[in-house]
Amino acid sequence: MFNLFPIDNGVCAPEGFYCNGVSAGLKANSQLDLAFIYADSLCDVEAIFTQNKFCAAPIMHYKEYQEGFKTNFILINSKNANALTGNEGINNIKEVLSTLQQMFPNVTNPIMSSTGTIGVQLPKEKIISAFPLFKLDTKNNQNAANAIMTTDRFNKTIAFEVFLDDGKSFRIGAICKGAGMINPSLATMLCFITTDAAIPKEDMRPLLLKASKTTFNAISVDGDTSTNDTILLLTNHKSGVYHKEAFLFALEKLMHKLATDIVRDGEGATKLVAFEIKGAKTQQEAEKCAKALSQSLLVKTALFGCDPNWGRIASTIGASGIECSPETLEIYFDDICVYSKGKILFDDINEEKATRILKQDSFKILCDIGLGKESFIAYGCDLGYDYVKINADYRT
């Protein structure tokens, strides 16, 4: 029905999109810290934001635009979250963006997005002083992806060309950042998605929400929810091509890759773990239980130590508040069953096999609650010394 091909250039892979990253002196040593995404025609836009009640100034600024507004520009800075900064924080955005529009009269309804330390006013002069470096017809996706990184160890970018049966195609691309303060209720990150698909405005929000549920809303690094979480989807319709199922499929693929990349890059993390819950009574319980596992400090530290301490997994399920019984529960590390319906199968041979699985870069912990038919997969990581190091020293 349709075919997906990975392509280069991330957020500027779709026709008519441009981007770059420059240094505004926010990060040390002239590192890239200020990015833009520009479209040469006006785009429909949809966004999902953090559920944190203290959402950052850029989010409040976005919400001042009229419902259904169109845009062609996103400005993104790292090192400063512009959160808990009051009216001054919003006024700083307005000053920054109106200066930008004086310099680039084509820019219409610009959106700003920020990540970094909370509770410090935006260094607007530094940001403005870097505008002369912007060339709007640049297509440098690597620079843009690097400029939005904070504690990320690698940049996160992806793009697909989607071919329909009639040979027509559209493109979709994205860049994304996130490594800490990552928790469901929109995982804490910034993600910018561009497409030239002719997706109708009314399809954008439902598809974005649907794809979020099993991707960015299914990951956790540390259980903390930031003030700045943002997913933005921009379309300029330029391909003239749209196929709803194909678009959703591509969107889910794209968001799943970026979301698991965030977990893989979790602060101090050494492995990506899929926590799959099966046999729960309700969908809500499956999700609650999978997320409890992905957030348990004792599970995460055992994973770091490559210790298949399944008792901590069982205990976390029992403490998660869902309906469950030791008589119906089964626990697997990949395909190794260590506990089955009241029976401990954790002999020396199985323990050695499970330990070997835990030494892999990625694996699955499967728990069958045995009481129903609902399932959910949450993605998490281990927690090691480097998480403490990164977050004890973050501001210094």
- Considering only the stretches 16-24, 68-76, 158-166, 218-226, report the one whose residues sit in contact with a second copy under the rule CB under 8 A: 218-226
H/E element, 187: none
CA 324/CA 170 separation, integer angstroms: 46
Residue 105 is a binding residue for a second copy (CB under 8 A): no
Yes or no: say if 133 and 147 are a contact pair by the CB < 8 Å rule: no
Beta strand 230-235 with 34-49 is: antiparallel
Selecting among 50, 71, 138, 188, the annotated active-site residue is 188
Sequence-ordered list of residues with C-beta below 8 angstroms from that of 3, at least 6 positions apart, any chain: 162, 163
**Would you say 135 is a known binding-site residue?**
no
Residue 269 is a binding residue for a second copy (CB under 8 A): no
Q: Minimum distance from CB of 373 to a second copy (Å)?
A: 20
Residue 143 is a binding residue for a second copy (CB under 8 A): no
Residue 340 is a binding residue for a second copy (CB under 8 A): no
Q: Which amino acid is at 343?
A: K
The secondary structure of 127-150 as a DSSP string is: HHHTGGG--TT-B-HHHHHHHT-S
Yes or no: say if 13 and 37 are a contact pair by the CB < 8 Å rule: no
Q: Which is nearer to a second copy, 200 or 326 (CB)?
A: 326
Yes or no: say if 379 and 364 are a contact pair by the CB < 8 Å rule: no
Residue 391 is a binding residue for a second copy (CB under 8 A): yes
* Count, residues in the chain: 396
Contacts of a second copy in 151-210 (CB under 8 A)? 180-181, 183, 185
Three-class SS of residue 69? coil
Site string for a second copy, 341-370 (x = CB under 8 A): -xxx-x------------------------
Q: Minimum distance from CB of 382 to a second copy (Å)?
A: 9
CA 8/CA 217 separation, integer angstroms: 26
**Would you say 177 is a known binding-site residue?**
yes
Q: Minimum distance from CB of 381 to a second copy (Å)?
A: 12
Sequence-ordered list of residues with C-beta below 8 angstroms from that of 356, at least 6 positions apart, any chain: none
CA 60/CA 56 separation, integer angstroms: 7
Contacts of a second copy in 290-329 (CB under 8 A)? 295-298, 301-302, 304-305, 307, 309-312, 314-319, 322-327
- Catalytic, 188? Answer yes
Q: Which of 54, 200, 201, 362 binds a second copy (CB under 8 A)?
A: 54
Q: Which is nearer to a second copy, 8 or 352 (CB)?
A: 352
Q: Which is nearer to a second copy, 108 or 315 (CB)?
A: 315
Q: Which segments of the chain are extended strands (E)?
A: 2-6, 17-22, 34-49, 70-77, 111-114, 156-164, 169-177, 190-195, 230-235, 272-280, 330-333, 336-340, 343-344, 362-368, 374-381
Three-class SS of residue 354? helix
Q: Minimum distance from CB of 333 to a second copy (Å)?
A: 13
Q: Minimum distance from CB of 351 to a second copy (Å)?
A: 10
Three-class SS of residue 219? strand
Q: Minimum distance from CB of 181 to a second copy (Å)?
A: 6
Three-class SS of residue 95? helix
Q: Which of 123, 198, 203, 223 binds a second copy (CB under 8 A)?
A: 223
Residue 259 is a binding residue for a second copy (CB under 8 A): no
Binding-site annotation, residues: 150, 177, 188, 267, 391, 396
Q: Which residues are catalytic?
A: 188
State the residues that interact with a second copy by CB under 8 A.
50-55, 81, 83-87, 117-121, 180-181, 183, 185, 222-227, 295-298, 301-302, 304-305, 307, 309-312, 314-319, 322-327, 339, 342-344, 346, 383-385, 387-389, 391-396
Binding-site annotation, residues for substrate: 150, 177, 188, 267, 391, 396
